[in-house]
């Protein structure tokens, strides 16, 4: 038995029966990271000694019958989540040496559940990107084809799960940064409802859009991780006081009678690869054979979603990233006696080009004389998008569409044209603007052997329904049995 091939659910059962130990499971993944990650680039920091110590503690709790729900499970987290005593760089030179004194709530809850954390995963700098090429430290490669991107900004998380370097991972999703890389890497990625998971300790990009969520090889794994990290947190004023269902147990309810909305607007979306379009149609047909009912719906303001996002998100980023000025923490330009010059050189030298671009866009949109024309107007259109979803969900229980318009593209293919790269999130951005849950589940492989994901969006705080649909498709297709070469 190859321990790295286990799912979270399988590993839990074997650990509970004491057929394997947490130390054996952790050591197997650390060995795999050492062997394979130099060619993938998923990890920025590997905490091997800490992981083995945590695994030994898990074995003691397992032996004493005090195991948590994720006891002994080796996981990793995106480097945008604060980890006590472990570097948290956000993929940026400006935070290259930042070591937080506390854990993000999502990380703390994984530890409380007994999880073993293997390290921190690569990402686009400050989560700004769709290919993980904007990391200041290294490029992450897609395990299915090392010449292609794993997606972004949580590319390290998706690649690590796909390559069996960990059993599951956490990422963050502001405009598709969990779902798009999940699609490109052939794994399951879930963006929960805004407020379902605490954002405390998540380094902010766009505060009204950011959300923490899980990656897993199977839908059940993502459900188990969501159960562990979800729930109200008094440290986050946007955290919702909603009960946390038993998401994994809910997968057994089936999908008979569920209505799946098919938006007419997505079929004519710019840049949709015909292979992706066909794969999504076939996936919906599979769900219909299992008892779901497809219905036509309309989301008329979706065509404005990308434009709205690239006003709101940079505006919020401009405000959030103002704190990185070389004074409080992070790197500072040296030998600058004059304060404003130190600010300029610190930010100019240590922020990457994509982060600087978005700060400039956001500052412009918030400036006097332009606020109403840009940020104010974008906020109004965002309200129309929220209303479109509310109307659509009166006719259906979930909405299906592609996760990404194409399979994974080649590294360097879109770096010279940021606007083309921004359109990689054309299908994922609306869920963030509306604050609703969405999941990407593998639904097919392209003629080139690259994964294609189906996105399922649900009503606020109804992650259970979209997970049930995703699990039904997973069982129907069985694509989880395929693995990168």
Active site residue 157: no
Count Cβ neighbours within 10 Å for each residue of 289-325 and write b for 16 or more, e otherwise.
eeebebeebebebbebbbebbbbbbbbbbbbbbeebb
Structure tokens at 75: 């996981």
Name the DSSP class of 3: G
In angstroms, the CA 222 to CA 299 distance is 28
In angstroms, the CA 359 to CA 319 distance is 8
Residues 125, 129, 135, CA angle at the centre, nearest 5°?
35
Structure tokens at 155: 């590319």
DSSP one-letter string for 215-242 = EESSHHHHHHHHHHHBS--TT-TT----
Q: Name residue, tokens 């259109």.
A: 381
Could you tell me how far CA 424 lies from the centroid of its own chain? 15
Active site residue 153: yes
Name the DSSP class of 196: T
In angstroms, the CA 308 to CA 424 distance is 15
Q: How many CB atoms lie within 10 A of CB 207?
A: 14
Structure tokens at 174: 């502001």
Helix (H, G, I), strand (E, B) or coil at 270: coil
Name the DSSP class of 45: E
Marked catalytic residue, from 89, 177, 239, 440:
177
Marked catalytic residue, from 21, 58, 78, 440:
78
Residue 213: beta bridge partners? 171
Active site residue 177: yes
Residues 246, 248, 252, CA angle at the centre, nearest 5°?
105
Measured CA distances, 176 to 100, 439, 455 (Å): 26, 10, 11
Helix or strand holding residue 262 (H, E): strand 259-263
Which residue in 481, 484, 480 sits closest to 219, CA to CA? Answer: 480
In angstroms, the CA 409 to CA 132 distance is 12
Marked catalytic residue, from 89, 130, 153, 183:
153
Q: Name residue, tokens 């286990």.
A: 6
Structure tokens at 478: 């069985």
Q: Name residue, tokens 């600087």.
A: 356
DSSP one-letter string for 383-400 = HHHHHHHHHHTTT-SEEE
Count Cβ neighbours within 10 Å for each residue of 113-122 and write b for 16 or more, e otherwise.
bbbbbbbbbb
Phi and psi for 49 in degrees, rounded to 5? -65, -45
In angstroms, the CA 22 to CA 12 distance is 10
Task: Give the active site residues.
Answer: 78, 153, 177
């Amino acid at each position: 038995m190859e321990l790295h091939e286990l799912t979270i659910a399988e590993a839990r059962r074997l650990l509970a029966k004491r057929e394997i130990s947490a130390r054996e499971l952790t050591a197997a993944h650390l060995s795999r990271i050492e062997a394979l990650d130099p060619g993938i680039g998923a990890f920025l920091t590997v905490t091997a000694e800490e992981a083995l110590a945590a695994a030994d503690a898990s074995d003691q709790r397992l032996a004493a019958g005090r195991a948590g729900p994720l006891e002994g499970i080796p996981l990793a987290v995106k480097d945008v989540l604060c980890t006590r005593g472990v570097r948290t760089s956000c993929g940026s030179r400006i935070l290259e040496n930042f070591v937080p004194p506390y854990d993000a709530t999502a990380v703390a809850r994984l530890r409380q559940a007994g999880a073993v954390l293997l390290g921190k995963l690569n990402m686009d700098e400050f989560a700004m990107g769709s290919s993980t090429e904007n990391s200041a430290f290294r490029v992450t490669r897609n395990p299915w084809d090392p010449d292609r991107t794993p997606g972004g900004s949580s590319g390290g998380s998706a690649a690590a799960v796909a390559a069996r370097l960990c059993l599951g991972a956490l990422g963050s999703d502001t405009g598709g940064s969990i779902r798009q890389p999940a699609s490109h890497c052939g794994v399951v990625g879930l963006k929960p409802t805004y407020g379902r998971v605490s954002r405390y300790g998540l380094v902010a990009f766009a505060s009204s859009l950011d959300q923490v969520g899980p990656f897993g090889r199977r839908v059940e794994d993502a459900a188990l991780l969501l159960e562990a990290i979800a729930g109200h947190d008094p440290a986050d004023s946007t955290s919702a006081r909603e009960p946390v269902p038993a998401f994994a147990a809910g997968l057994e309810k089936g999908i008979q009678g569920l209505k799946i909305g098919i938006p007419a607007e997505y079929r004519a979306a710019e840049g949709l690869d015909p292979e992706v379009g066909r794969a999504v149609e076939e996936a919906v047909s599979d769900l219909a054979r299992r008892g779901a009912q497809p219905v036509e719906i309309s989301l008329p303001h979706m065509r404005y979603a990308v434009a709205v996002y690239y006003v709101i998100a940079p505006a919020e980023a401009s405000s959030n990233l103002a704190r990185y000025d070389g004074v409080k923490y992070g790197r500072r330009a040296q030998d600058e006696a004059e304060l404003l010059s130190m600010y300029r050189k610190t930010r100019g030298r240590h922020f990457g080009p994509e982060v600087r671009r978005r700060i400039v866009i956001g500052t412009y949109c918030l400036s006097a004389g332009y606020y109403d024309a840009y940020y104010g107007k974008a906020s109004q259109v965002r309200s129309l998008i929220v209303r479109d979803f509310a109307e659509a969900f009166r006719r259906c229980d979930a909405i299906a569409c592609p996760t990404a318009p194409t399979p994974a593209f080649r590294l360097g293919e879109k770096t010279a044209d940021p606007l083309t790269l921004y359109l990689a999130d054309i299908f994922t951005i609306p869920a963030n603007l509306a604050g609703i849950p969405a999941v990407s589940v593998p639904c097919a492989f392209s003629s080139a052997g690259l994964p294609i994901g189906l996105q399922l969006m649900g009503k606020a705080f109804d992650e259970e329904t979209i997970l049930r649909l995703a699990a039904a498709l997973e069982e129907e297709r069985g694509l989880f049995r395929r693995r990168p070469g």
